[in-house]
């Protein structure tokens, strides 16, 4: 994965606050399911 395009990391906006999220190692298994940049946004959405 780090061969070739090592500078590329996917990113997408948080569905709650719209802030761009850059891919993180901890998300590598569930990147498609990540919708919020933080626990705070995740909790606020159900408010
Ligand atoms: Zn957010």
Quote the percentage of the chain above a pLDDT of 90: 74
pLDDT at 7: 77
For the whole prediction, is pTM greater than 0.75? no
How many angstroms is it from 4 CA to the middle of ligand 1?
31
How many angstroms is it from 1 CA to the middle of ligand 1?
27
DSSP helix/strand/coil, 26: helix
How many angstroms is it from 42 CA to the middle of ligand 1?
8
Tens digits of residue pLDDT in 24-45 = 999 999 999 999 999 999 999 7
| 20 sits in which H/E element | strand 20-22
pLDDT at 2: 57
How many angstroms is it from 2 CA to the middle of ligand 1?
27
Judge whether residue 1 has pLDDT over 70: no
């Amino acid at each position: 994965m780090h061969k070739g395009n090592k500078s590329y990391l996917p990113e997408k906006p948080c569905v709650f606050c719209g802030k761009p999220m850059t891919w993180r190692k901890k998300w590598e298994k569930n990147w498609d399911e990540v919708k919020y940049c933080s626990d705070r946004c995740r909790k606020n959405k159900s408010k």
